[in-house]
Amino acid sequence: MRAAVSSLLLAAAVTLAACGGEPERPEAPAAAASGERLPLAQRTVADLKPVSATVTTKDMGEARARIGGTLTELRVKEGDYVRKGQLVARVSDQRLTLETRAYDAQTAAAAAEVARADADLARVRTLYEKGIYARARLEQAEAAAKAARGQMDAYRAQGAASRELSNQGAILAPSDGRVLRADAPAGSVVAAGQSVATITAGEPLLRLEIPEGQARALRVGDRIPIVSEDLPGVAPVGVIGQVYPAVTAGRVVADITVPGLDAGLVGQRVRVRVQVGQRQALVVPRRFVSTRYGVDFVRLLGRDGRAVEVAVQIAPGPAQDQVEVLSGVAAGDVLVGPQRTLAQGPAR
C-alpha cells in the first residue's frame, strides 16, 4: 500500500516538473485611485467673442484755416506735441493786404476832410457871432463837419475789420496733444475751413466696433479682457466707459478705458474679448490638467475605481486659474486630481 502511494506522489512530481509551471495564485485587487475628486457639471459662463479694437483718443482736434489763401508757413510735423493755442501754420491772402491798405488810404483822406470841415465850421461860427452869417449857414457847416467825421470813422472801422481778417490767417492748435497728420506743404492753396493738421485730444482709449446684434450685451462698466501681447505693460483688463447710441452701417461703437494706455501708435489694432451673451460650459481648475508633449490630459475615474488619463482639448476659462474643457470628457464624469508624493507634501 505504501509503495502504491509513493508511486502516485512520484508520478505527480514528475508531471509537474515536466510542465515547468507553478500553481496559479489569485490576482490581488487593484488599488483605488487617490487624489482630489471633481464631478463635472455644466455651468453658465460669459460667451466671449474675440474682436479687434483700435487705439485712439477721446476726440480728434482739427486745426482748420479760417480764411482762404496760401499756406505760407507750417511749423509742425507728424509726431510733434503741441499745446493749446500754439501757432501751427499761417495762411496769407494778398487781397486782404491790399484791401487794408486801401482802407488806410481812405481813412487818411477822410481825416483831411474832417480837418477842412472843422476849419470851415470855425470860420462860419466866427462870422455868425459877428452877425454876418445866418443861423442856417452855421447849421450847414456843423452838419458837414459831422458827416466828415462819420465818414472817417467808417473807413477806420473797415480798415480794422480787414486787418483783423488778415490776422485770422494764423492757425492755432485747438487742444493739447500730438500731431497725427500735417500733410499740407507750405506754399499750397487752402480754402476756408480746410484742415491743415489733425491733433489728438483727450485721454487715450480703445475704440470698439461690433455688429448691432452682438452689441445688445454691452453695458457701461463691463470688464473687457485684453490680449497682453498686443499691449505689453498695460492692464490686462479694460472697462467700457461709453456705448454710443447711434448705429452706423449696422455697427455699434464703444469706448474702452484701459489704465496705463499710451496713444503712441494711434490706429494700432488690439485684440480684446467681448461678452456677447451666455452659454453652458465645463470649467475645471487648471491644476486638474497636465500637459505632455503638447497634449493636455486629465485623470478620469473609471468604473473599476482606477484613474485613466484621457486627452482633452481646453481653452482659457473665465478666471486665470481655470480652463474650459471643450472635448474629451462630458458632464457627469469624475476627475481625479494629480497624485501627490512625499516630496510634494500634503495638499493644502
pLDDT per residue of the chain (348 residues) written in tens, 0 to 9: 444 445 544 454 445 444 544 444 444 344 456 778 889 999 888 877 888 898 888 888 899 999 888 999 999 998 888 999 999 999 988 888 888 888 889 999 989 999 999 999 899 889 888 888 888 988 898 999 999 999 999 989 988 888 888 888 899 999 888 898 888 888 889 999 999 999 988 888 999 998 888 788 788 888 888 876 777 778 788 899 999 988 888 899 999 998 888 777 788 888 888 887 788 999 999 999 999 989 999 998 888 888 888 999 998 887 778 899 999 999 988 998 876 543 444 444
CB 62 within 8 A of CB 174: yes
Q: Parse the chain into domains and list their residue ranges.
A: 37-43+282-336, 48-57+203-279, 66-93+169-196, 94-167
Q: How many whole angstroms separate alpha carbon 228 and alpha carbon 234?
A: 8
- How far apart are the C-alpha atoms of 348 and 341, rounded to whole Å? 13
- The answer to whether 37-43+282-336 and 48-57+203-279 have equal CATH topology is no
CA–CA gap between residue 140 and residue 180 (Å, rounded): 66
Of the chain, the end-to-end C-alpha distance in Å amounts to 73
SS3 of residue 221 by DSSP:
coil
CATH fold group of domain 37-43+282-336 = 2.40.420
C-alpha cell at 4: 502504491
Label the pairing between strands 87-92 and 334-336.
unpaired
CATH number of 66-93+169-196: 2.40.50.100
φ/ψ of 105, rounded to 5, equals -65, -40
Give the position of cell 480728434: 60
Q: What's the topology of domain 48-57+203-279?
A: Elongation Factor Tu (Ef-tu); domain 3 (2.40.30)
Residue 69's closest CA among 99, 95, 88?
95
Question: What residues have CB less than 8 Å from 228, skipping those under 6 apart?
Answer: 234, 236
**Rounded distance between C-alpha atoms, residue 283 and residue 234, angstroms:** 27
